[in-house]
Structures are given as structure tokens and as C-alpha cells.
């Protein structure tokens, strides 16, 4: 009996080309190999070696496959990628994809587990409501190296791999609430998490340790609330409560979110960030994709094209995969057989509005605010300018938000006669003419955008036609604009009227009338006539008390009634702002991209699929 096994110890490759005059060139590769055989002869193992030449068909060289890439337009330079400092929709989408929250919202806005596997409500020893979250133990902290292209897991001082734990959650919440962090969005936690307002406002006797969040063990975290807040699981999905990497922030401080330094834990991490040019994300290979519903997009190539017309041209040239449709192009898109099939139009949980600087003359008078609000022909604006099927807004929260009034039932709608009467009464009482009013130099400001500019121009003309007023329109780049309309800006530097949109963080009115317009706790004090905690007479305290009472009311019907009253006070009695329309999504998307249109919070790229 003979058994032999061939083992190749080494090989020498000699290549030659054989050309035929009649046929295309054929490549032959002659391999000279050293073959060693181990054989058994007469019970002994013998090693035999011989040189063999063989002709083989070469394997074609395999080109490295290009990653499945989403061509995305951020629309502007994101102001930050720091969860504690994020306050705008552009930054929210970036943070949403690079950091996990305790929970996550579905496309429809429903709460689903994410870092937390489950949670339960309870009470502490003092009767305060609590939420206890049990956490996964397999979400790694990672860092991407832009030089090597490798994603590696972070380790601690002893070399142990770092996984997201309850202490990271506690640190993230405390850092957001810490007044030294200067978070613009911390106010959404006021009246929700125990002592969040007191700590952030610097009340004497309160420290970060008093914040209502504690790690019960490495993978259990408990929040103690200031009010029942049945919507808290939705808040737990927000960027301001996402776990944050203390060691990286301590080491790099404000630079910690730069490419090569940023430490993340989400489905994507940062490949590079060329400020003013590109922000690119890459799939996190260490993320537990076997558990989450993950799409196939491996890279997000994100550009920063501000002009909607330019972005749309790139889309038509197959350089972007999904974009908003510019206002002037909507009719053409609807009529085009190809583009109309790629067109998506549906309600969105956002409201477009003009804010008034209520303590800056002449908008410190409710009659002027009412006149400017009622002189806006919202339906005409939608029919002739926006053309996206938006819903005219007379109050703040859009349909689909708990407690939101039916559109048009409360607040102030378009009423030219009432606008003219209110404005004339103001002029007469102050002994002014329209020319005198115009001499005050009223300004309307919006962030740089072709769409916002068209809307501003239309409303500017409505005010002139209805009231005879001349309003100067100005614009600023997004990050600068956010600083300008911040509640810390001195009154003299504020525009009289300014454009903003508000999109739902969670599907409850508390996120709207209280979080945005509460004069004593909200971040937008200046917008209703308060600065440095000194409220002018225009602020209706009944509104503030209603929104605070609704936070602790457990009867849903009573809560909804309170919110309806608050909405009417805000938009009707105070005319504190001018609601204009409730958004719709007006988008085109390539047929090979299967995407979601998130109703609330940022876009979740990890759920999208490219089929090519």
C-alpha cells in the first residue's frame, strides 16, 4: 500500500507570451515548482523532491471593489458633530449615524430599543418618577484612522477594550447639562430630568451629581424625572442624551470631533471632514450588524452644496442620489415622466415660521406683530412659491404631534382687513405715518438659501401690498445665522423678524410650545420678550403655567386641552411669532436607492439600501 501527499515548499514563476498571427494574444504562464512528496515505503516515511514545470491559466487580477457609496448633500457646513452641542438638523443627521442613543425612533416616529434592550417605569423613595434602562454590553467605542483606513476599538488604561456602558450615558447627560459646555439644546431637558434646569442655570447649591441620572451598575442606568413625562423614552433617543467618550473629550477638548480624533459608537464613523467642502462617513465594521436592521451602504460621500439649484443639477447629472427639489423646479419635476417617478411628497413633522424680536421696537407691540402675521397670505405662498402641498399654519405643532390643534382652528390666519386695522391703530396711537414706520428700518433675516430667499421676497411684497411697509431682507450663512438669532445676542444686533423651522424631536406638544417658547425655562426667551430672565409685559404668564402644568398632568385629554389653550395664547393672543406652514418632504430619489424618510430626528443611513 502506498500513500502520497504533495506539499509545495516553494515555487518559481516564469511567464511568457505566445502570440498567434490568426488569433488574439493568449497569455500562458509556465510555473516551475518544487514538489515534495511524503511517501511511505515498506513502513518507512521518505521525503522525495522533484522539479516540475506546469502550464496554467492565470487567475485574473481582482480589482478591489468600490464601497457601496451614498452620494449625499449635507446642504451646508454642519456647525458641529458634538452630541452635546448639536442643535440643527444637519448636525443631528451626522450625530444620529455616528452615535447610538438609549432608544431610536422608527421612520414613523415610534420608540424602539437601541443601546437599551428594555426599560421600565417606577418611582424613587421620594415618589419621583423614574425610568430604568438595561443596556447592551457589545457596542464598542471605535476610532477611524484616515491614514490607514482602519477602524479600531478603543482600549482603557489597562488595555481592556472599551464598550459603551452606563457611566458613558451618565457622563453624556451631565456634560450636556453642565453650564460650562454651553449646550444650545439643553433646554429640552428642563422640567423633564430632575434638577436639569437648576444645574444648567447655575442655581446655588446644585452640582452635576444632583442631576437625575445614575449608573446602577455597568449596564443599567436610571433617570429620575422632574415630571411624569410619558414621552421620556422618545427623549432618550435624542443626541443630547447620547453616551459620550470622556477620555477623548478630556484629551482633545474642542478638537475631539475632528477626523482622526473623534471616538464614536454608531453604525458609521467619520472618514474625513474637510470644513466647507466634504464630510464623509464610513461603515463601522465593529458595529453589531447581526442585531440591527442594517442596510448595505458602506460609505457616505457628503458634500456641502448650499444652493438647491446646484444640488438639483448634480442630481440630474447622477452625482447625487437624493435631493430636495428647488421651488422653481417643482412644476417641471411633476410634469417630467422620469423625474415624476422619482418624486416623493409627504407631510413632515416640521413647521416653518417667522419669529419676532418681541422686545425690540416696533415689535414690542402686539398690534404690529398681529398685523405682520395676518398680512401673510399663506395659501397663496404655498400655491405660487413653495408648491409642495404644505399645510397653512396658524399654530405651531403640525398634525401627528400629540396635542396639536387641527390646522386653522386656533391662532391667527390670513386676514388682511384685520392686519390693516391693527397696524393703523398702532400708527394712530403713536402719531406715526407709514413713512415714519419705514424710517425705523425693519429687517427680515433668513439663513442663506434660494428657497428661503424666494419665500422672504414673496412675504416682503405681501407686507408692502397690505400694510405699505418697506422691509429690508438680509441673509447669513447657517452657522453665523444661528449665532445671530441666539437668545444671548444683544437686542440692537437682532433682526426684527427672522426665519426658523422647528422639527419634532419627539411626538408630543411639550417639544413644541414648552421647549421653544416657554419664557422662563425655554432657550428662546428673547423670542418672546425676555432677556437675562427679565420678561417684558407682553409675555403672558398663563402660557408658561399651562405648558408646565401639562408636563405633570397624566390625563391625556386634559393635557391636550392645556396645549390647545397654550397654542392659542402664543399665536393668537400674544402673536408672539408668525406660523407660516407645516412642512412636507419634497424630494427626488434615484430608483436604485431604497431609503426612509424619517418623520422625526435625523436620517438613518444605516437602514438604506443601494441596489445596483
Which of 162, 177, 183 shows the shortest CA–CA distance to 263?
162
Confidence of residue 551 (pLDDT cuts 50, 70, 90): confident
Q: What is the 3-state secondary structure (H, E, C) of 138-194?
A: CCECEEEECCCCEEEECECCCCCECECCHHHHHHHHHHHHCHHHCCCCHHHHCCCEC
The rounded percent of the chain whose pLDDT value lies above 90 is 74
pLDDT value of residue 322: 98
Confidence of residue 65 (pLDDT cuts 50, 70, 90): confident
pLDDT, tens digit (0-9, with 9 covering 90-100), for 379-427: 999 999 999 999 999 999 999 899 999 999 999 999 999 999 999 999 9
Measure the CA–CA gap between 290 and 270, rounded to whole angstroms. Answer: 22
Query: What average pLDDT score do residues 117-128 get?
Result: 95
pLDDT, tens digit (0-9, with 9 covering 90-100), for 144-185: 999 999 999 999 999 999 999 999 999 999 999 999 999 989
pLDDT value of residue 109: 87
pLDDT value of residue 44: 58
CA 330 distance to own-chain centroid? 25
pLDDT, tens digit (0-9, with 9 covering 90-100), for 573-596: 999 999 999 999 999 999 999 999
Query: What average pLDDT score do residues 259-264 get?
Result: 97
Query: What average pLDDT score do residues 342-347 get?
Result: 94
Q: By three-state DSSP, how is residue 82 classified?
A: coil
Measure the CA–CA gap between 523 and 186, rounded to whole angstroms. Answer: 8
pLDDT value of residue 536: 41
- Least confident range from 27-31, 235-239, 337-341, 503-507: namely 27-31
Cα radius of gyration rounded to whole Å, the chain = 31
String of b and e for 113-125 (b: at least 16 CB within 10 Å)?
bbbbeebeeeeee
> What are the respective helix, strand and coil percentages of the chain, to the nearest 5?
30, 30, 40
CB of 591 within 8 A of CB of 341?
A: yes
pLDDT value of residue 542: 85
Q: Quick count: other Cβ atoms within 10 Å of Cβ 32?
A: 12
Tell me the average pLDDT of the chain.
Answer: 88
Query: What average pLDDT score do residues 519-537 get?
Result: 46
pLDDT value of residue 540: 56
Q: By three-state DSSP, how is residue 40 classified?
A: strand
Confidence of residue 612 (pLDDT cuts 50, 70, 90): confident
Residue with cell 417667522: 354
- The yes-or-no verdict on residue 66 having pLDDT over 70 is yes
pLDDT value of residue 599: 82
Which of 588, 595, 599 shows the shortest CA–CA distance to 610?
595
- Least confident range from 53-67, 185-199, 567-581: namely 53-67
Say if residue 362 is preceded by a cis peptide, omega within 30 of 0: yes
Confidence of residue 30 (pLDDT cuts 50, 70, 90): low
Q: By three-state DSSP, how is residue 310 classified?
A: helix
Beta strands in 261-321 (DSSP E): 263-264, 268-274, 278-283, 299-303
pLDDT value of residue 59: 56
pLDDT value of residue 32: 44
pTM for the structure as a whole:
0.80
Q: How far is CA 94 from CA 21, 71, 599, in A?
A: 60, 14, 16
Confidence of residue 52 (pLDDT cuts 50, 70, 90): low
- The yes-or-no verdict on residue 14 having pLDDT over 50 is no
Confidence of residue 61 (pLDDT cuts 50, 70, 90): low
Query: What order of strands is seen across the sheet that includes strand 129-135?
Result: 116-123, 129-135, 220-224, 213-217
pLDDT, tens digit (0-9, with 9 covering 90-100), for 189-239: 998 999 999 999 999 999 999 999 999 999 999 999 998 888 999 999 999
pLDDT, tens digit (0-9, with 9 covering 90-100), for 69-122: 999 999 999 999 999 999 899 999 999 999 999 999 998 889 999 999 999 999
Which of 326, 259, 270, 256 shows the shortest CA–CA distance to 75?
326
Q: By three-state DSSP, how is residue 276 classified?
A: coil
Measure the CA–CA gap between 31 and 416, rounded to whole angstroms. Answer: 90
Q: By three-state DSSP, how is residue 103 classified?
A: strand
The rounded percent of the chain whose pLDDT value lies above 70 is 86
Query: What average pLDDT score do residues 282-310 get?
Result: 91
- The yes-or-no verdict on residue 10 having pLDDT over 80 is no
pLDDT value of residue 53: 58
CB of 163 within 8 A of CB of 133?
A: no
β-pair type (69-73, 299-303): parallel
Amino acid at each position: 500500500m502506498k500513500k502520497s501527499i504533495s506539499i509545495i515548499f516553494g515555487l518559481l514563476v516564469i511567464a511568457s507570451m505566445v502570440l498567434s498571427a490568426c488569433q488574439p494574444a493568449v497569455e500562458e504562464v509556465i510555473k516551475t515548482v518544487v514538489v515534495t512528496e511524503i511517501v511511505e515505503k515498506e513502513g518507512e516515511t521518505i521525503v522525495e523532491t522533484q522539479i516540475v514545470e506546469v502550464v496554467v491559466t492565470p487567475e485574473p487580477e481582482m480589482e478591489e471593489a468600490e464601497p457601496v457609496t451614498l452620494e449625499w448633500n449635507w446642504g451646508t457646513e454642519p456647525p458641529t458633530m458634538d452630541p452635546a452641542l448639536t442643535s440643527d438638523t444637519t448636525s443631528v443627521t451626522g450625530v444620529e449615524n455616528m452615535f447610538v442613543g438609549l432608544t431610536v425612533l422608527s421612520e414613523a416616529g415610534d420608540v424602539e430599543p437601541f443601546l437599551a434592550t428594555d426599560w421600565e417605569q417606577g418611582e424613587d423613595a421620594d415618589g419621583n418618577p423614574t425610568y430604568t434602562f438595561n443596556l447592551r454590553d457589545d457596542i464598542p467605542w471605535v476610532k477611524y484612522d484616515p491614514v490607514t483606513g482602519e477602524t479600531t476599538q478603543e482600549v482603557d488604561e489597562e488595555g481592556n477594550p472599551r464598550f459603551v456602558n452606563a457611566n458613558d450615558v451618565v457622563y453624556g447627560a451631565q456634560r450636556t447639562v453642565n453650564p460650562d459646555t454651553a449646550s444650545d439644546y439643553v433646554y429640552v431637558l428642563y422640567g423633564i430630568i430632575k434638577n436639569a434646569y437648576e444645574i444648567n442655570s447655575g442655581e446655588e447649591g446644585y452640582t452635576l451629581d444632583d442631576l437625575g441620572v445614575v449608573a446602577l451598575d455597568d449596564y443599567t442606568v436610571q433617570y429620575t424625572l422632574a415630571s411624569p413625562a410619558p414621552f421620556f423614552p422618545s427623549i432618550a433617543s435624542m443626541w443630547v442624551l447620547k453616551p459620550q467618550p470622556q477620555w477623548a473629550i478630556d484629551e482633545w477638548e474642542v478638537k475631539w470631533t475632528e477626523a482622526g480624533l473623534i471616538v464614536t459608537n454608531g453604525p458609521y464613523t467619520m472618514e474625513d471632514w474637510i470644513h466647507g467642502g466634504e464630510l464623509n462617513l464610513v461603515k463601522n465594521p465593529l458595529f453589531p450588524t447581526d442585531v440591527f436592521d442594517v442596510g448595505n451602504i458602506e460609505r457616505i460621500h457628503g458634500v456641502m452644496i448650499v444652493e438647491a439649484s446646484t444640488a438639483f443639477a448634480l442630481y440630474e447629472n447622477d452625482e447625487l442620489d437624493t435631493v430636495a427639489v428647488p421651488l422653481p423646479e417643482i412644476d417641471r419635476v411633476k410634469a417630467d415622466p422620469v423625474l415624476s417617478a422619482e418624486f416623493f411628497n409627504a407631510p413632515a413633522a416640521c413647521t416653518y415660521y417667522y419669529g419676532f424680536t418681541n422686545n425690540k421696537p416696533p415689535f414690542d407691540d402686539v398690534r404690529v406683530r398681529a398685523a405682520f402675521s395676518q398680512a401673510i397670505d399663506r395659501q397663496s405662498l404655498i400655491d405660487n412659491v413653495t408648491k409642495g402641498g404644505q399645510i397653512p399654519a396658524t399654530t405651531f405643532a403640525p398634525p401627528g404631534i400629540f396635542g396639536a390643534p387641527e390646522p386653522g382652528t386656533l391662532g391667527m390666519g390670513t386676514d388682511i382687513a384685520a392686519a390693516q386695522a391693527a397696524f393703523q391703530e398702532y400708527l394712530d396711537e403713536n402719531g406715526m405715518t407709514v413713512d415714519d414706520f419705514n424710517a425705523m428700518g425693519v429687517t427680515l433675516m433668513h439663513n442663506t438659501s434660494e428657497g428661503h430667499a424666494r419665500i422672504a421676497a414673496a412675504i416682503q411684497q405681501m407686507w408692502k401690498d397690505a400694510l405699505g411697509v418697506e422691509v429690508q431682507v438680509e441673509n447669513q450663512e447657517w452657522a453665523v445665522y444661528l449665532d445671530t438669532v441666539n437668545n444671548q445676542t444683544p437686542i440692537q444686533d437682532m433682526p426684527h423678524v427672522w426665519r426658523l423651522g422647528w422639527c419634532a424631536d419627539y411626538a408630543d406638544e411639550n417639544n413644541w410650545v414648552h421647549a421653544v417658547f416657554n419664557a422662563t425655562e425655554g432657550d428662546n426667551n428673547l423670542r418672546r420678550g425676555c432677556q437675562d430672565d427679565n420678561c417684558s409685559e407682553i409675555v403672558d404668564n398663563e402660557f408658561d403655567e399651562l405648558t408646565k402644568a401639562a408636563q405633570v398632568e397624566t390625563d391625556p385629554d386634559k393635557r391636550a386641552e392645556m396645549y390647545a389653550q397654550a397654542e392659542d395664547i402664543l399665536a393668537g393672543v400674544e402673536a408672539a411669532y408668525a406660523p407660516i406652514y407645516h412642512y412636507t418632504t419634497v424630494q427626488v430619489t434615484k430608483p436604485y436607492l431604497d431609503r426612509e424618510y424619517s418623520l422625526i430626528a435625523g436620517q438613518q443611513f444605516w437602514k438604506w439600501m443601494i441596489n445596483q
